Amino acid sequence: MKKRALISVSDKTGVVEFAKELQDLGYEIVSSSGTAKVLRENGISVIEVSEITGFPEIMGGRVKTLHPKIHGGLLAVRDNPEYMKQLEELGIVPIDIVAINLYPFEETVRKGAELDEIIENIDIGGPAMVRASAKNHKFVTIVVDPEDYSYVVSMLKEKGEIDLQTRRKLALKAFRHTALYDSIISAVLNEKFGINEKFPDELSVPLRKKSKLRYGENPHQEASLYVSPVESDGFSVAESEVLHGKEMSYNNYLDVEAAVNLVKEFDAPTCVIVKHNNPCGVAVRESQPEAYKEALSRDPKSAFGGIVAFNKAVNIETARLLTEIFLEVIVAPDFEEDAFEYLTGKKKNLRLVKVKNFESSSAGLDFRRISGGMLIQDRDLRLYEEWKVVTEREPSPEEVEDLLFAWKVVKHVKSNSVVIAKNKATVGIGPGQTSRVDSLETAVKKAKEFGLSLEGAVLASEAFFPFRDSIDEAAKHGIKAVIQPGGSIRDPEVIQAANEHGIAMVFTGMRHFKH
What residues act catalytically?
A: 135, 276
What is the rounded CA–CA span in Å between residue 243 and residue 353?
6
Q: Which residues make Cβ contacts (< 8 Å) with residue 433, sequence separation at least 6?
A: 416, 417, 439, 442
CB 98 within 8 A of CB 6: yes
- Give the distance between the most distant pair of CA atoms in the chain: 97
Angle at 155 between CA 150 and CA 157, to 5 degrees: 95
Distance CA 98, CA 154 (A): 16
**Distance between CA 491 and CA 506 in Å, rounded?**
12
197: Cβ contacts below 8 Å, ≥ 6 apart: 190
**Which of 329, 334, 320, 275 is closest to 302 using CA atoms?**
275
Strands (E), 74-127: 97-101
**What is the dihedral angle through the alpha carbons of 328, 332, 336, 338, rounded to the nearest 10 degrees?**
-10
